[in-house]
Homo-oligomer: A and B are copies of this chain.
């Protein structure tokens, strides 16, 4: 609604630093330029808590339902502290999404079991599935804003969709390289199946995305789409 023109900010790595352990905080600092260093210094360890709180509220109430006071209260911070670090609610949200933990700590660890089915099954872990659902909820929370804010839409896609998509693409490409699946297979299309079906189930149908659901999806949709019978 309010346009939110700021095209700077979000100086996150975001891109491809798979090993980033720390809660990479990408906050604008009021110029730690050079000569000045006086008085109490900003406690940047709070950034992570605040961004985390913002993501929580976002997942629960959506962008429009979220208020700065909610975030501040949940982070046990003052509202002024938030505004000292981010110029607006929109910027806070953009930064929160941009700094989202790569939940796929296993992002670096792409499974390699020798078969496509084995690789896909290896991606099913309760923790991953649970975190994926949370991400979807965050995505839904900012969906109304995404159409008005291409910048945010891009960041959200990169942070929420890309990690899993990238892994899936890799698995499929390897399967193609070793001749397990045909070179004609549209990897991009296949990679969309899982996020699309999971999102539909969680956000539209309101049903939980269980490991059983993902398993059935792999055997009954994804592998058939790769022209592989699921009979191992």
Contact = CB atoms under 8 A, between A and B. Distances in A.
Interface of A: 1, 61-65, 139-141, 143-144, 146-147, 153, 157, 161, 186, 189-190, 192-193, 195-197, 199-201, 203-206, 216-217, 220-221, 224-225, 227
Contact of A221 (B1, B62, B189, B216): B189
Contact of A193 (B140, B141, B221): B221
Residue from A1, A140, A193, A221 whose CB has the most chain B CB atoms within 10 Å? A221
A221 B217 CA distance: 12
Contacts of A196: 196-197, 199-201, 204
Nearest to A141: B144
Nearest to A143: B140
The 6 closest A-B pairs by CB, nearest first: A196-B200, A64-B64, A62-B144, A224-B224, A196-B196, A221-B225
27 contacts: A1-B65, A62-B64, A62-B144, A63-B144, A64-B65, A143-B204, A146-B206, A147-B206, A161-B204, A189-B216, A189-B221, A192-B197, A192-B200, A192-B201, A193-B197, A193-B221, A195-B200, A195-B204, A196-B199, A196-B200, A196-B201, A199-B204, A200-B200, A220-B225, A224-B225, A224-B227, A225-B225
Total copies of the chain: 2
A200 B203 contact: no
Contacts of A143: 140, 143-144, 203-204
A137 B201 CA distance: 17
B140 A144 contact: yes
Which of the listed residues A146, A157, A203 has the most CB atoms from chain B within 10 Å of its own CB?
Answer: A203
Contacts of A144: 62-65, 140-141, 143-144
Contacts of A195: 200, 204
Nearest to A62: B144
Nearest to A217: B189
Nearest to A206: B153
